[in-house]
Amino acid sequence: MTGWARDDAKLDRVQALMAESGLDALVVRAPDNVLYLTNFWGMKGYDACVFPREGEPTLICLEASAEDADRTAWTRDVRLVHGYVDDDPRPVVARTLDAALAALPPGQVGLELSLGTQAADRMVGEPTTFTKAWFDAFPGAADATPVLTAARARKTDQEVERIRIANEIAAAAMEHVRGQLQPSMKEAEAAALWQGYVHGVGTGWQGRVELALPFSLVWAGPGIKTFTATGDLPVQPGEPVLFEIWVCADGYWADHTKNLVVGELREDYRELEEQLLAVYGAAVAYCRPGASLAGLDELVRDGIAEAGYPGQPSHPICHGVGARAHEPPYAHRAGGGLIEEGMVLAIEPGAYWPQGGGLRVEDNFLITAAGAEKLSPFPDGVVACP
């Protein structure tokens, strides 16, 4: 499996932002921040990184993960903690804290004090949280989140390459489902087709991915809503099947919404598709360096309102993608910020009917000097199955 060389452009950016903020060291434990700073994606979330403004970072991880750390981590200062110790009944994170304090250089410390979300570890199903003692151990710590947010908002060449791989896997899985989707198939069965391809084929993808994980919400026809679970509604000819899909490939993500239809798309859905694609196209054209994120939110929501869906959608219409599927920046008319070259943005207008049904279109776009470059090879809109 081909490894990833140390991404000095990324790490130098973090250290420069630390200097601007007066931080001498970051102590991070969110799996996506540990990955971002060390390239190590832990199994159980018991890991941490001490990242100094000068000198070698320290990775702290479970002894059971020593082989993974040796193979993937950029830092050579790896300190192992035991999952079980005969004479120490404390939880693992207490030993992680001991190791972090031992590695900490003098000066101002930054902690993740205002995380909104974090990506999961590789086991995914049981995210690990740290105790109050973790935060109490660093009195006077500053919030490191603004520094990490600013650094992560603009991607390096390596990060873009890793996001492209996740996009490729997601698109290939959609092509796989497109060839197998059948009337009367349950939403959950369609989801399983997509997920099975991502995990089974995406793991080992082109000799470059150690682990690909799928996440999906799949809705058929009247089941298309926001923030509801995949169920057992059947696929019906003429009604779209919406795939809200994420791929995580070794810690870097793709976030798409793709739509399939068996047979001829029903006329009311065809009209909605045309309306949404017009808004979507305007949003993509708007996304150039220096454009206002607030202005993007206004453009999309005003366009959806003009199409007859005021107040929609209830979900964000644009957010960053990288070491999380949803990360800053977010577009909001009451917020601030500018679109910058090097950002990777998910653009996702949607409109939903009160009785159930609707559409969303979404892809990931790299912001270049010339505008927004679509990263997924799978088409937008509603794609007909053969």
Q: What is the pLDDT of residue 258?
A: 98
- Which one-letter DSSP state was computed for residue 344? E
Q: Are residues 366 and 218 in the same domain?
A: yes
Q: Are residues 106 and 162 in the same domain?
A: no
Q: What is the pLDDT of residue 248?
A: 98
Burial 302-321 (b: 16+ CB within 10 A, else e): ebbeebebeebbebebbbbb
Q: Tell me, yes or no, whether 225 lies in a domain.
A: yes
Distance (Å, whole) CA 138 – CA 135: 6
Q: What is the pLDDT of residue 155?
A: 98
Q: What is the pLDDT of residue 106?
A: 97
What whole-number percentage of the chain has pLDDT above 70? 99
Are 344 and 155 a contacting pair, CB within 8 Å? yes
Residue where a domain stops, chosen among 130, 152, 174: 152
What value does the mean pLDDT take over residues 223-240? 96
Q: Are residues 302 and 241 in the same domain?
A: yes
Give 156: exposed, middle or buried? Use CB within 10 Å, 0-12, 13-18, 19+: middle
Q: Are residues 191 and 125 in the same domain?
A: no
Q: Tell me, yes or no, whether 364 lies in a domain.
A: yes
Tokens representing residue 291 in the block = 């454009």
Closest CA to 246 of 256, 237, 236: 256
Q: pLDDT digit string (tens) for 62-84?
A: 999 999 999 999 999 999 999 99
Cα dihedral 135/47/128/64 (nearest 10): -140
Q: Tell me, yes or no, whether 1 lies in a domain.
A: no
Alpha helix segments (H runs only) across the chain: 8-21, 31-38, 66-72, 92-103, 132-136, 145-153, 157-178, 187-202, 267-286, 293-306
- Whether residue 2 has pLDDT greater than 80: no
- Whether residue 54 has pLDDT greater than 80: yes
Q: Are residues 161 and 147 in the same domain?
A: no
Here the CATH number for the domain that contains residue 124 is 3.40.350.10
Residue where a domain stops, chosen among 96, 131, 152: 152
Q: Are residues 273 and 332 in the same domain?
A: yes
What value does the mean pLDDT take over residues 181-188? 98
Q: Are residues 43 and 58 in the same domain?
A: yes
Q: Are residues 125 and 232 in the same domain?
A: no
pLDDT tier for residue 128 given thresholds of 50, 70 and 90: confident
Q: Are residues 46 and 165 in the same domain?
A: no
Total domains in the chain come to: 2
Q: Are residues 19 and 141 in the same domain?
A: yes
Give 201: exposed, middle or buried? Use CB within 10 Å, 0-12, 13-18, 19+: middle
Q: What is the pLDDT of residue 1?
A: 58
Q: Are residues 209 and 101 in the same domain?
A: no
Model's pTM, two decimal places?
Answer: 0.97
Closest CA to 243 of 218, 225, 261, 224: 218
Neighbouring residues of 142: CB distance < 8 A, sequence distance ≥ 6: 21, 22, 23, 108, 109, 110, 111, 113
Domain extent at residue 128: 8-152
Here the CATH number for the domain that contains residue 202 is 3.90.230.10
Q: Tell me, yes or no, whether 3 lies in a domain.
A: no
Residue where a domain stops, chosen among 112, 131, 152: 152
- Whether residue 289 has pLDDT greater than 70: yes
Q: Are residues 195 and 250 in the same domain?
A: yes
pLDDT tier for residue 135 given thresholds of 50, 70 and 90: very high
